[in-house]
Amino acid sequence: MSLARPLLRSGVSRTVGTVAASRASSSKAPAQQNASSSASPAAPVPEGQASLFHTILPSVDVPRSSKFPNPFPDMPTHSLFNVGRTIFKPLPLADRPKLMGANHRDEMQQRIADVTGRSTRDVSKLMRFPVIKGRVVNMTKKGKMASQYVLMVAGDPEKGLVGVGRGRHELAPVAGDTAFRRAVLAMDYVAKFENRTLFGHGADLKAKFGATTVIMRARPPGFGLQVPHVLHRLLSACGIRDASATIEGSRHPGNVLAAGLQILHGGFGPAGFGSGTGKPGRKQDKGAGMRTIRDIELERGRYGVDLGKRL
C-alpha cells in the first residue's frame, strides 16, 4: 500500500479506486477464506467503491463546489497548498513608509521644488532632453575609472525657461537625475517675440564658443524649426516654434548648447570681464575702463545681482 500513496492526487484517485475495486472482486475467494479464519470478519464492500483503500490514506476534507457534485461520496478531497496564502498581514496604507525604493524620483522632485520655490507638479511637467549619454573614463594610477556622463536640456515652454546641466556617476539613472537637477537650477528666462520666435526681425544672431559659431534667425509664423538637432532640443524646451539656425566650425553638442544659450539668455562677454569661460579680457577693450553695473545690465538684457563672489 505504500506504493499507492504518491498516486493519490486530484483526477488520479478515481482511477486508483476503480483498479482497487476490480482487484478486490478478482480475489473474492481468497478474501472469504481469510475472513472465515480471522476472529473479526471485515465489513462488506459496496459495489463500485473501495472503502479499504480510502480509509488507509489520510485526507483533509475541503468543501466541494455545488456546481461539480461528487459521484463518490466516500472519496476524499484534497487540499491545495499552491494558492496565494499570505503569512504576514499587509500594513494599512497609512502605516506604510512614505519613502521607498520606487519613490526616488519623487524625492528628487521634492528637493528641486524646495530649492526653486515651485510645486512638484510644475517640476514633473518640465521638459527634459538628454543630448549626450555615454561612458567616460578617468585615467588614474589605479587604471581607468569608468562612469556614465549625461548632458541634458531642461525647460518650460509655457514660461520660456531653459537650462543645461551635466551629470556624472557610476550609474546612468543617477547621472541623468543629477544632470536634470543642475539643468533646472541653471534655467533662465528667454525673451520671445510674439511668444513664438526670436527677437531680431530676421537679422543674424551670432555667438561663438570655442571653435563653434552658432547663427540663429527669427522667422515668420508657420516656418517651424529648421535647425540642427541639438539646437532643436534647446529651442523646443523654451517654447520657440519658428526659427532657423546654422553651425559653423565644430559641431560638438556641448559647444553648440553653450553658444546657443549665449544667444537665448540675452548676451555675453561684457567688456573688461573676460569671456565668461575663464579667459582674460579682450585687448581692444583694455583702455575702455570698468563699466558700471547699469551699462552691463543694458548690454546683457537682465538685472545684475550681487552674489558675494570674488573672481
pLDDT in tens, 114-155: 888 888 889 989 999 999 999 999 999 999 999 999 999 999
More confident residue, 156 or 83: 156
Provide the percentage of residues in the chain whose pLDDT is more than 70. Answer: 61
Q: Average per-residue pLDDT in the chain?
A: 75
pLDDT of residue 8: 42
pLDDT of residue 5: 45
Evaluate if residue 22 carries a pLDDT over 50.
Answer: no
Q: Which of 44-48, 151-155, 156-160, 203-207 has the lowest mean pLDDT?
A: 44-48
Q: How many whole angstroms separate alpha carbon 103 and alpha carbon 174?
A: 13
Domains, the chain, in order of start with CATH, read 1-87 (no CATH), 106-185 (3.30.160.20), 205-300 (3.30.230.10)
CB-CB contact of 258 with 209 (8 Å)? yes
Q: How many alpha carbons lie under 13 Å from residue 135 in its C-beta half-sphere?
A: 3
What residue type is 170 in one-letter code? E
Q: How many whole angstroms separate alpha carbon 188 and alpha carbon 160?
A: 8
Residue 63 burial (CB count, 10 A): 6
Evaluate if residue 51 carries a pLDDT over 60.
Answer: no
CB-CB contact of 162 with 238 (8 Å)? yes
Q: How many whole angstroms separate alpha carbon 115 and alpha carbon 182?
A: 11
Q: How many whole angstroms separate alpha carbon 300 and alpha carbon 298?
A: 6
Evaluate if residue 94 carries a pLDDT over 90.
Answer: no
More confident residue, 168 or 46: 168
Q: Which of 216-220, 253-257, 280-284 has the lowest mean pLDDT?
A: 280-284
Evaluate if residue 263 carries a pLDDT over 50.
Answer: yes
Q: Which residue has the cell 499587509?
A: 90
Evaluate if residue 286 carries a pLDDT over 80.
Answer: no
Evaluate if residue 184 carries a pLDDT over 60.
Answer: yes
Counting every residue written for the chain, the total comes to 311
Evaluate if residue 16 carries a pLDDT over 70.
Answer: no
Cell of 106: 519623487
Rg (CA), the chain: 40
Residues 6+ apart with CB under 8 A from 164: 151, 152, 153, 154, 183, 186, 234, 257, 258, 261
Average pLDDT over residues 33-42: 50
Q: How many whole angstroms separate alpha carbon 291 and alpha carbon 272?
A: 8
Evaluate if residue 70 carries a pLDDT over 80.
Answer: no
CB-CB contact of 162 with 154 (8 Å)? yes
Evaluate if residue 284 carries a pLDDT over 90.
Answer: no
Q: Which residue has the cell 550681487?
A: 306
Evaluate if residue 2 carries a pLDDT over 80.
Answer: no
